[in-house]
Amino acid sequence: MPDASHTEILRYAAGGRELASYLAWGPARDGKRPGVLVLPEWWGLNDYARRRARELAGLGFAALAVDVYGDGREAADAAEAGALMGGLFTDIPALNDRLRAAYEQLRAHPQVDPERIGAMGYCLGGALSLHMGRLGMPLRGVVSFHGALTAAHQAQPGEFKPAVLICHGEADGLVPAEDQANFHKEMQALGVDYQFVSYPDAKHGFTNPEATEKGKKNNLPLAYDEKADRQSWEDMKAFWSKVFR
């Protein structure tokens, strides 16, 4: 996958933190391009999130890998990641401010078409992307890769605007069947245009080549799955082609 030719750090303040998100966009093209927010795993804004932003830029998007913890922070291990993630959900108003600020930063960038913005994320980031939809943010689409499906905010009919693609590992031990069933009920009740794709034998973290090692190191049921990684990326590309046309 091609890398972008342009990157920059966007510095701004929101939700009680100084934030430093990573923007990537590709070579010059006619007109403005769609913007995609990339919400990271619970590890924070690491090389994996930045790489995904560059790969999206290579597809013709402007992609912002979002700093959700502040100061571009990356967790050293699962204990720190859990503490940082827990901090987000103990102050939902601050979290919402950070997500809205990231959206506004991307929307205002001169490379971006402000009417074509989407959000996607991995694990925690998938949950946060869905959270943005539940908050009623004017996104065209949301993609969640092996993300949690429970809701920290209950949307009302008409509030959830984007189309949704869920890329789920069939063998994901961290997203219970009950959560999946409740998510289907929620999307149907809200009238959301959504797809739920399950990849056979894929576990939590299936898109990240470092997942297997991190799972062993931290005693977590994580594993990389190259086939599911490639297929989910193709499914994502088809989804963005549809929602941004």
* Angle at CA of residue 40, ends 121 and 222, nearest 5°: 85
Give a yes or no: residue 111 inside a domain.
yes
Give a yes or no: residue 185 inside a domain.
yes
pLDDT at 180 (0 to 100): 98
Give a yes or no: residue 1 inside a domain.
no
pLDDT string in tens for the chain (245-residue length): 445 579 999 999 999 999 999 999 988 667 899 999 999 999 999 999 999 999 999 999 999 999 999 999 999 999 999 999 999 999 999 999 999 999 999 999 999 999 999 999 999 999 999 999 999 999 999 999 999 999 999 999 999 999 999 999 999 999 999 999 999 999 999 999 999 999 999 999 999 999 999 999 999 999 999 999 999 999 999 999 999 99
pLDDT at 200 (0 to 100): 98
Residue with tokens 């890329």: 167
Q: What is the rounded CA–CA span in Å between residue 199 and residue 216?
A: 22
Give a yes or no: residue 96 inside a domain.
yes
Closest CA relative to residue 130, chosen from 166, 97, 100: 166
pLDDT tens digits, 110-126: 999 999 999 999 999 99
pLDDT at 188 (0 to 100): 97
Distances 47 to 4, 54, 208 between C-alpha atoms, Å = 14, 10, 11
Give a yes or no: residue 215 inside a domain.
yes
pLDDT tens digits, 20-39: 999 999 886 678 999 999 99
> For the chain, what is the domain count?
1
Phi and psi angles of residue 21, each rounded to the nearest 5 degrees, phi first: -90, 160
Give a yes or no: residue 235 inside a domain.
yes
What CATH number should be reported for the domain holding residue 127?
3.40.50.1820
Give a yes or no: residue 118 inside a domain.
yes
pLDDT at 1 (0 to 100): 44
Q: What is the rounded CA–CA span in Å between residue 117 and residue 139?
A: 5
Give a yes or no: residue 90 inside a domain.
yes
* Angle at CA of residue 202, ends 200 and 208, nearest 5°: 145
Residue with tokens 């576990």: 203
Q: What is the rounded CA–CA span in Å between residue 188 and residue 172?
A: 23
* CB proximity list for 232: less than 8 A, separation 6 or greater: 145, 167, 197, 199, 206, 207
Structural domain that includes position 115: 6-243
